Amino acid sequence: MDTRTQETPGTGRVIGYNPDEVAYGVISPAQRPLRDDGIQDATLGDQEDGGPGNGWVQVLMQKKKSKREPQGLEKQVRDEAGRTTAENFKPRKPLRLPSLRVYKHKVIIKPHRVAVDLKRYRSLIGEAVQSSLPRGLDEKTVVRLLEAQNTIMVCTDEWSEAEAVAGIKKLNFPVGVLDVEAYHVSPSEDACRGVIHGVRPDLTNEQIRQKTTAVGYEVLEARRLGKSQSAVIVFAGKKVPFTVSFNWLETPCFIYKKTRAACLNCGEVGHRTDVCSKPEGFACSACRATEVGEDHECVPKCALCGGAHKTYDRHCPEKFYKETKNRGPRRSRERRRDGAQHVRWLSRESGRSVSDSRTRSRSRSASCGRSASRDMTTSKQRRQKGKRKKSKRSTSIEGIFTDPGDRKKWPELLKDGDQESRSTSQPKGGGASNNGAIQDLRRDVTHCKKTIEELWSKRERTGGVSAEQVQAIVETTVQRAIQGLQEFFTSQLMQLTCRVTELEKLGKTLEQNQESLFRQFTSKRRKTGEPLRDADISDAESCASQRSQV
């Protein structure tokens, strides 16, 4: 038999080897086949044909790749795996950097009348800012590149360092000097902003701040909006005044709304025109045409919403940022398996409606209004107020409209009992928590009485309610109320017992102190023979008064 390898069609098997010998990975030189694409010989040292050795070589088998075309599902998998096209391309999400709200002062550095892409010099920005300051940067200072806005933000806790960074006019890079402009960013945590109009163009930001005052408000800084006659006023706190005194004239102050950044040079959203990195943009910023001739017909197109108007038009729906209000998780009421609403006896949740629990007064926060945003205390007060309100519920109990039975005037008896319960005075010294628990129990009893009154009114209309059934409902309700009162008073008795034990220990301690003082005074008088001083007598009197109070 020929020792050359042969491949059977469609199977990929190599014949000419003994399977047992191939399993151990050794063959004799006489049985060694010709070199093929599917087989590689791995020799050790000088163990080759004709060389010294024991005549055995070690070989490494490799599976031959099939050249047949994939079919069916295999073809679809091979086509889709590892292929990246423009259709299925998904850009990688940018890394989310930590928040910079912990820093007190922030300064923005932007290129001044120069078209430069700061992303190309990312590794040199920190050194450039460091070398531009006489004392350098602190270890805790953070320098961050805002790629979308093509600006640099420097965050620090030192006011002197922030002032030094705000005074930077040039950044020294190895490739050249970059003219920049730096300014402070108003703090967003403990400050709010308003807008005034009618500011003269010759006034600087510092002059605007000095000429602006408001009774009960502190003006932190002022900044003109571009080259317009409007200025942004930063106030301390979370409230914006309705009017301010600008240059001794009462001027209305409006809430500042942050606008979305859009470039009129390149038409992209995310940065402004003064920091655009592209030197050449559109010839017409309104319609974004690259070439403009004498017969040019301008059809404006907004870069924010794509509408048929200029960018930053006052009627653009996408001009300002839309703030989303987080209302928190919805409160779901308990429901039975059959879908009916589950009403619990002697519980405050049974009489509360969803609409009453969500009653809120309309207020405007500091970011979008004049009043302070809701804090935890205010929200708790609103929730407690909603819990106090009771909604009218219709009660229907099946199976009790039977024989007419004995008719007694239950509503009159219930009203008399309710008046007697209201006339009783509450015990003093129970505390606010005790009064609240008693009020809850009384509220539950009142709810049960209203339910019985509704049943009595239905009985008078239909004539099908027996007095025994109503009395059974009343007894069950009263037993549950008594059980709740027993548990409440048991807990209060345990608290009082613990308090009495503590007072007894305190009384014993004071008694021991008084005895020790008396012994000291007696021994001192016997040794010296002098009368007691006023200070010693006052100490003894104070100790005796404390004991009497206990």
Categorize the per-residue pLDDT at 32 as very low, low, confident or very high, splitting at 50, 70 and 90: very low
Q: What percent of the chain has pLDDT over 70?
A: 54
- 182: nearest Cα among 108, 117, 271, 130: 108
DSSP output for 380-443: HHHHHHHHH---------TT-B--------HHHHHHHHHHHHHHSPPPTT-HHHHHHHHHHHHH
- 358: nearest Cα among 382, 375, 326: 382
pTM: 0.41
The residue assigned the tokens 């006339």 is: 423
- Interval 427-465: pLDDT, tens: 444 444 566 667 777 777 787 777 777 777 766 665 555
pLDDT at position 475 is: 78
Categorize the per-residue pLDDT at 278 as very low, low, confident or very high, splitting at 50, 70 and 90: confident
- The Cα–Cα gap between 316 and 305 comes to 7
Q: Which helix H or strand E contains 106, and what residues bound it? A: strand 105-111
Q: How large is the average pLDDT for residues 108-124?
A: 87
Comparison of pLDDT for 282 and 405, the residue scoring more: 282
Residue 276 has pLDDT above 80, yes or no: yes
Structure tokens, 325: 């209000």
User: How would you label 59-90 residue by residue, b for 16+ Cβ within 10 Å and e otherwise?
Assistant: beeeeeeeeeeeeeeeeeeeeeeeeeeeeeee
pLDDT at position 398 is: 39
Q: How large is the average pLDDT for residues 288-311?
A: 81
Sheet holding 105-111, edge to edge: 142-146, 151-156, 105-111, 176-185, 170-173
Categorize the per-residue pLDDT at 368 as very low, low, confident or very high, splitting at 50, 70 and 90: very low
The least confident of 192-201, 468-477, 501-510 is 468-477
- Is there a contact between 169 and 111 (Cβ–Cβ < 8 Å)? no
DSSP state of 463: -
- 373: nearest Cα among 333, 323, 423: 323
pLDDT at position 491 is: 82
Torsional sign, CA 424, 430, 432, 433: negative
